[in-house]
Amino acid sequence: MGSPITAQPKITPKNAAFDFRKYRPFAFAPKLTDRTWPDKVITKAPIWASVDLRDGNQALIDPMTIEQKMRFFKVLVEVGFKEIEIGFPSAAQVEFDFTRKLIEEGHVPEDVTLQVLVQAREHLIKRTFEALKGARRAIIHVYNSTSRVQRDKVYGKTKEEIKQIAIDGATLVQQYAAMYPETEWVFQYSPESFSQTETDFAVEVCEAVCEVWQPQSGQAVILNLPATVEASTPNVFADQVEYFCRHLSCRKDIIISLHTHNDRGCGVAAAELGIMAGADRIEGTLLGNGERTGNMDIMVTAMNLFSQGVDPELDFSNMSEIVQVVSECNNLPLHPRHPYVGELVFTAFSGSHQDAIKKSLDYNEKNTDITDNHWDVAYLPIDPAHIGRSYQDVVRINSQSGKGGVAYILQRNYGFNLPRWMQIDFSRVVQSQAEAAARELQNDEILHTFEQTYLQQSDYELLDYSVNNKAGAVQFSGQVKAHGEVINIEGTGNGPLSSFIDGLAKYTGSDLHIINYAEHAINPHHLNYDESEIDTDRENKTDANAAAYIQLNVDGNVFSGIGTCTSTVSAMLKGALSALAQAPTSTSA
Ligand code: KIV
Ligand code: ZN
């Protein structure tokens, strides 16, 4: 049985059970040499069908209560699902009762269609129709397994016998539907494990089902193609879908639906390629809960469309609330790196990423006239604000971080727009602090270090001063408290700063030169960000509205400092004292 095991392992695994020779290549790829799907682009959203309350629910450790199902159902409606598989009413009383509650209490909006699953067995079909009594419109989803392994090993049935189960199921569904004419019925059939079924056989079974249902005469029919267990690369699944669509005689009269699982981690990719290959509809769950590795994650697939400028026709703007309901009802935690919604997915810790994000955002802000208004920011596939995420998430600081990230935090949260040379100076301080702490630093810790390093140095304090312009030269005259002692500073230069530096040089006896200088008004609100994130409390506490950054050469060594004040001149003089205070020789006067 099976193919002979010939290949010899190149390494000897520590555990002999780790034996790849027990597996063989995927055997159900149809022969398709002129596939067309690779050239297709998805330009519109498929029909979405949520199976959270059925496939998702049946995979939970503790299946949902009626109350949880109701809470989840309301979120699905709010997100915009028009087709919702609410359960398997013949399988458990709670499933039956939930169906009745939705219908009897009128919870189903006019434009939403309920879907329920049932096996192709009469007593189950009968009970399912009872559960749906009174529904305005409903999709009755019947299935049986068609895969080789299920035929041979689970049911011990031939292909003909398996096809007959599908035909009998379809016939019963049709007969029972006729007993409830007040409901508009949509018939759905799934050849379960479609992707592990010979595609020709899947076509044959589905043709037989369509023979019964007669979609060409107007009966609404969905054929749903499940990758019940994902067992191939997504391109092979796309070939299967394209092959199926091409060989089905009634293709134009039916809706082709996909139902992918995630065993190889490609549930979303397979569904996307399957849509390119001709499918009209996708079943999946929010956040991908489902049997084993889960179902295809509809939220990710929809956001993938969104990020390509395609209307996903589902509203995820209120993502955090949706995620909260889903995780609470499923009682499953969310991985911090879950695409689009994980805690860390918009966060850059790495210095080069932070730098690139900051530069892109700054560029966009400064060039509103030339940028075309489309989102285009390095390392951020979408604007976090579009799904209600805060810019606080974007940059977080640990020992891997660099100057751009630290500068981003100071600019975005506290209004300090550090020039590059100042960023380099301060990022060294932050990096050693993060290394020493061996953990992430919070924004307020960074601000505290910034203030302690530059703004709260106690060696020098600017007291009174005056600057006069005499015959083209500026004269500085004032007092500075240096190491607790009030001293007079007199200097001359071509501006207030250079005359002050001249006076300081005389006082310290050091060789002092200005290398770099920058200043700006501190006004966090001029930044085009969400104001709710700005620390207004701190803003109210400070009366500084100018910041000046000075880089001094002190006896051949470079030191940087910052001053803040209500006046620009005082801010720059304080900045010079802050830089001087960094110099170890600054006390030598
Ligand atoms: O994964 C699957 O095959 C299913 C079917 C019942 C559609 O959930
Ligand atoms: Zn499934």
Helix 66-79 and helix 319-330, axial crossing angle in degrees, nearest 10: 160
For 498, phi and psi rounded to 5 degrees?
-65, -35
> Do 255 and 269 touch, CB atoms closer than 8 A?
no
Kindly tell me if the per-residue pLDDT of 536 is higher than 80.
no
> Do 85 and 93 touch, CB atoms closer than 8 A?
no
Tell the residue nearest (CA) to atom 2 of ligand 1.
228
DSSP state of 289: -
Neighbours of 19 (CB within 10 A): 11
Dist. CA 119–CA 218, nearest whole Å: 24
Q: Selecting from 3.40.50.720, 3.30.160.270, 3.10.20.30, 3.30.420.40, what CATH number does the domain 457-582 have?
A: 3.30.160.270
Dist. CA 395–CA 405, nearest whole Å: 6
> Going by DSSP bridges, is the β-strand pair 473-482/485-493 parallel, antiparallel, or unpaired?
antiparallel
Chain region(s) in the chain for CATH 3.20.20.70? 34-330
Tallying the residues shown for the chain, one arrives at 589
Whether 408 lines ligand 1, by a CB cut-off of 6 Å, is: no
Whether 228 lines ligand 1, by a CB cut-off of 6 Å, is: yes
Ligand 1 nearest atom to the CA of residue 261, by list position:
1
Pocket test for ligand 1, best of 53, 54, 55, 224 (most atoms within 8 A of CB): 55
pLDDT at position 537: 43
Backbone Cα Rg of the chain: 34
At 144 the three-state DSSP class reads strand
> Do 289 and 56 touch, CB atoms closer than 8 A?
yes
Residue of 223, 226, 384 lying closest to 317 (CA atoms): 384
CA of residue 54 to ligand 1 center, whole Å: 10
- Tell me the per-residue pLDDT of 340-369, one tens digit each, with 9 for 90 and over: 999 899 998 888 898 899 899 889 888 888
Whether 192 lines ligand 1, by a CB cut-off of 6 Å, is: yes
* Residue entry with tokens 């089905």: 248
> Do 41 and 53 touch, CB atoms closer than 8 A?
no
Q: Selecting from 3.10.580.10, 3.40.50.2000, 3.20.20.70, 1.10.10.10, what CATH number does the domain 34-330 have?
A: 3.20.20.70
CA of residue 55 to ligand 2 center, whole Å: 5
> Do 265 and 306 touch, CB atoms closer than 8 A?
no
Kindly tell me if the per-residue pLDDT of 24 is higher than 90.
yes
Tell the residue nearest (CA) to atom 3 of ligand 1.
228
CA of residue 228 to ligand 1 center, whole Å: 6
> Do 293 and 262 touch, CB atoms closer than 8 A?
yes
Whether 55 lines ligand 1, by a CB cut-off of 6 Å, is: yes
pLDDT at position 532: 41
CA of residue 228 to ligand 2 center, whole Å: 5
Tell the residue nearest (CA) to atom 4 of ligand 1.
228
Range with lowest mean pLDDT among 4-8, 61-65, 76-80, 297-301: 4-8
Tell the residue nearest (CA) to atom 5 of ligand 1.
192
Pocket test for ligand 1, best of 85, 192, 229, 230 (most atoms within 8 A of CB): 192
Whether 190 lines ligand 1, by a CB cut-off of 6 Å, is: yes
Residue of 448, 528, 462, 529 lying closest to 497 (CA atoms): 462
β-strand partners of 140 = 116, 187
Neighbours of 485 (CB within 10 A): 8
- Tell me the per-residue pLDDT of 150-177, one tens digit each, with 9 for 90 and over: 999 999 999 999 999 999 999 999 999 9
> Do 478 and 496 touch, CB atoms closer than 8 A?
no
CA of residue 144 to ligand 1 center, whole Å: 9
Ligand 1 nearest atom to the CA of residue 51, by list position:
8
CA of residue 262 to ligand 2 center, whole Å: 10
Dist. CA 575–CA 581, nearest whole Å: 10
- Tell me the per-residue pLDDT of 390-439, one tens digit each, with 9 for 90 and over: 777 788 888 888 888 899 899 888 999 999 999 999 999 999 999 999 99
* Residue entry with tokens 């503790």: 62
Whether 143 lines ligand 1, by a CB cut-off of 6 Å, is: yes
> Do 120 and 145 touch, CB atoms closer than 8 A?
no
Tell the residue nearest (CA) to atom 8 of ligand 1.
55
Report the predicted TM-score, pTM, of the whole model to 2 decimal places: 0.84
The number of angstroms, rounded, from the C-alpha of 313 to the middle of its chain's C-alpha atoms is 18
CA of residue 226 to ligand 1 center, whole Å: 6
Chain region(s) in the chain for CATH 3.30.160.270? 457-582
Neighbours of 497 (CB within 10 A): 21
Dist. CA 360–CA 366, nearest whole Å: 10
CA of residue 192 to ligand 1 center, whole Å: 6
The answer for residues whose C-beta is within 8 angstroms of residue 423's C-beta and 6 or more apart is 403, 404, 406, 407
Ligand 1 nearest atom to the CA of residue 291, by list position:
1
Report, as an integer, the average pLDDT of 309-315: 98
